[in-house]
Amino acid sequence: MIQALQDQSEQVKKAAFELLLERAEPRVKKILQNHNLYLFFECFFTFKQHSIGVDAIAISSDGKIIVSGDANHIINVWNLDTGEIKLTLQSRGSWIESICISLDCQTIFNGTNLHSIEAWDLNTGQLKYTLKGHSGQVKSVAISSDGQTLVSAGCNDKTVKIWNLNTKESQHTLEGHTDCVCSIAISPDQQTIVSSSHDGTIKVWDFVTGDLKLTIEAHSCNVFSIAISPDSQRIVSCSWEQVIKIWDLNTGELKRTLIDSSGAYSVVFSHDGQSIVSGCYDSTIKVWDLNTGFKKTLKGHSGCVFCVAISPDGQRLVSSSQDTTVKVWGLPELQYN
């Protein structure tokens, strides 16, 4: 069975992998730990309660909650284990393109088209407060690993703002992009903020001071999505160019280019940093094994995959789509009862 993991047939590899999961020998467990489990993922649950495209999703740090936001100002809070809706919230904005959850799993943050960020109580669904400072749509939001800082990207004002969540005040406004800022990320080591824009660039900022450290001339057109690797050393980006690029965060050097004719719209690193998952215009999800170069295609959506996220334990992948659904992907034995 171990030898079968290297078989050319995907069906043979999958069968061997599933059989080996039932074995308790330490040698087998070690081999499976080093094997890319994402290549065997299947869709085993679909959330269908949205009535319009779902642009944003987030998974709580305890892996129990999914939050999804759509283009009709609705936010749904789901139990990841049962698929049941816990809460439905109605944003004051008309289009939710960005969402994140506080590290203590108590607050949902979402950007709006009304120059603001809303903060909701995850348990009661009550609006706790609103952060105002952008002059247009808030395209992306991200929260620091210590839960003390929120970062937001403004589309119309072309800025990035750093918010102190204790004082609810903006600490820094980062300027330099010449077009809509569409994606932001905070490095896990809390040293760096990375932003991407429709101007084709990626900018690297100092997390504490807000100083610009680096500008990467990344793509010839809109850079839709970026993510930072778990070791805070690499950036992954995607754009209209139908390529995914991996960059050195410290030097801006292009390390690798992945050709993706499907058209990647969203990207994320796996938790071990050895894989990249991309949501695509052609309704598919691609899993890229960075060690072997192998690419797996996950099919199930019927519209552009707007957003992809991986659970904290790495056991589940969640995707949202223009087709109004949110899908949960994983290994067969993790299926809901």
Residue among 125, 122, 119 nearest 143 (CA): 119
pLDDT reported for residue 336:
40
Cα 322–Cα 153–Cα 51 angle in degrees, nearest 5: 20
pLDDT reported for residue 83:
85
Residue 285: count of CB within 10 angstroms of its CB: 27
CA distances from 80 to 50, 59, 66, 102, 273 (A): 16, 9, 6, 17, 23
CA–CA gap between residue 88 and residue 199 (Å, rounded): 35
CA–CA gap between residue 91 and residue 108 (Å, rounded): 11
pLDDT reported for residue 90:
94
Residue 149, exposed/middle/buried by CB under 10 A (0-12, 13-18, 19+)? buried
Phi, psi of 329 (to 5 degrees): -120, 145
Tokens of 137: 């749509």
- The answer to whether 256 and 245 are in contact (CB under 8 A) is yes
CA–CA gap between residue 78 and residue 67 (Å, rounded): 6
Range of lowest pLDDT (194-198, 227-231, 261-265, 306-310): 261-265
pLDDT reported for residue 16:
83
Domains of the chain with bracketed CATH: 1-35 (no CATH), 43-334 (2.130.10.10)
Tokens of 74: 């609705």
pLDDT averaged over every residue in the chain: 91
CA–CA gap between residue 138 and residue 154 (Å, rounded): 5
pLDDT reported for residue 34:
66
Write out pLDDT tens, residues 84-93: 999 999 998 8
Q: Does the predicted model carry a pTM greater than 0.95? A: no
DSSP per-residue string spanning 50-117 = -SS-EEEEEE-TTS-EEEEEETTSEEEEEETTT--EEEEEE-SSS----EEE-TTS-EEEEE-SSSEE
Residues in the chain, how many? 337
Q: Using DSSP, state whether 29 is helix, strand or coil.
A: helix
DSSP per-residue string spanning 271-304 = TTSSEEEEEETTS-EEEEETTT--EEEE---SS-
Q: Write the DSSP symbol of residue 151.
A: E
- The answer to whether 116 and 132 are in contact (CB under 8 A) is yes
Write out pLDDT tens, residues 118-147: 999 999 999 999 999 999 899 999 999 899
